[in-house]
Structure 1
Amino acid sequence: MDTTLDRRRLFTAAVLGGATIVGATALGSLAPEEALAALAWDVEPGAVDPNFAEGRITSINGTKLFVTGSDGVFHRIQATEGTSIWKLQPTGFDSAQVGDGLYARGVRLADGMLAAESIWINIVNLEVHISAMSRNMLHMEHYGSKIIGHVVPGKTATVYNGTPAISDMSLLKVGSHVKVIGAWRPDTNEIDIATVYAAV
């Protein structure tokens, strides 16, 4: 069975016919950690992945996103009722805003539109050095750039030494090197923190 053909048929039906389809999480995890690891599926090094788009949203029309890539390429992205969307947490299409950055993966239709299986809005994956801490913020440095990370009650979690994520950040220390996944606040040096990965 040709999985690519089946996915293409599924999403073409969803875009053109409004078919009820399973969420994209059935086709792959929406978890940002796994999403970032899976952004280049089955593509030769240096080749363009036709089923992937990235950039900033320049306009929104209904459930279509018009996106200008960092390379200047213009993308049209169609969300369906089966599209999974992440913006700090799984969310709905109405969370997308003009100016947001995104990564999208899906199926490229004959007219060039990308029927999105998954969209990650403003997602960042940073290796940082913690320079200062408060109860609600981490001050971080990333290759000389200063970044402010906001702790979001009920959402921000920490993973210590690969153990399950917990809300307790008390083991983080100034001077530590950690990995942070979060949602960028466009046009700022600030992010909302989803997960901190630390070795203690």
Structure 2
Amino acid sequence: MLGTTAATVVGASTMGSFAPEAAAGQRRPLDVEAGAHDPNFIEGRITGLRKGMLMVTSSDRSMHRIHLTGATSVWKLRPTSSDAAKVGDGLYARGVRMPDGTLAADAVWLNIVNLQVHITSIGRNVMHLDHHGDRIVGHVVAGTTAAVYNSTPAVSDLSLLQVGKHAQVIGAWRPDTNEVDLATVYAAA
């Protein structure tokens, strides 16, 4: 996956927000020590799909089964349904462990990235970005991509973004590429 990843999806649960920004600051249950493995959170790539079930291999090569229901919040650049999940997608999932070891997912973020970047060029529907020396192509998605300037509400106007400036981008990685569909760009105006 691209760089440092993390996780605006509407909704909330007893476990916290479903917004993509929330995946970055996952709240650990009180019984999980700082730095310890949270059994109710999984990261990895989808290796198989069965009706209502995702098979996932984590970066540590452990295998997991994630059960999706009609109540599971799914984000893939925007709120969507579980049908958007594809083999090869990266994911973060939060939920509750079931007695059989599966994770009953409350929220799933597909291909989400949260990157600190340097804007190297801006085109009509594309931004070229540098993330710690890695070149990334950021695709502007009509009706979805928004900018937040100096902590103001998100707007669709990207005209204040500037080449040479730093920004934070949240988006959906296009697996096995250096390309990201942009959801939100946080920048100073």
Which consecutive residues of structure 2, in runs of 5 or more, have no partner in the other structure? 1-9
Greater radius of gyration (CA): 1
User: In the alignment, what sits opposite 2:175?
Assistant: 186
d(CA) in 1 for partners of 2:45, 2:27: 17
The reply on whether 1:158 has 2:147 as its aligned counterpart is yes
Instruction: Name the amino acid aligned to 1:32.
Output: P
2:16 counterpart of 1:26? no
TM-score (norm 2): 0.90
2:25 pairs, out of 31, 34, 37, with 37
Q: What is the CA distance between 1:68 and its match in structure 2?
A: 0.2
Gapped regions of structure 1 (runs ≥ 5): 1-22
Structure with the largest fraction of strand: 2
Runs of 4+ in 1 over 6 A off after TM superposition: none
Pairing 1:74–2:63 present: yes
Deviation at 1:24, TM superposition (A): 6.8
Partners of 2:78 and 2:27 in 1: CA distance: 18
Task: Identify the residue that residue 5 of structure 1 maps to in structure 2.
Answer: none
**Greater helix fraction, Structure 1 or Structure 2:** 1
Match for 1:25: what amino acid? A
1:84 to 47, 60, 73: 73
What is residue 98 of structure 2 aligned with on the other side?
109
Q: Which of the numbers 121, 129, 136 marks the counterpart of 2:110?
A: 121
Aligned length, in residue pairs: 178
Identity of aligned residues (%): 60
Checking the alignment, whether the CA contact within 8 Å between 2:11 and 2:19 is kept in structure 1 is no
Give the direction of change, closer, same or farther, for the CA distance of 1:26–1:46 in structure 2 (3 Å limit): closer
Please give the root-mean-square deviation of Cα atoms over the aligned residues, in Å.
Answer: 1.4
Q: Distance in 2 between matches of 1:115 and 1:54?
A: 14
- Measure the CA separation in 1 of the matches of 2:139 and 2:11: 29
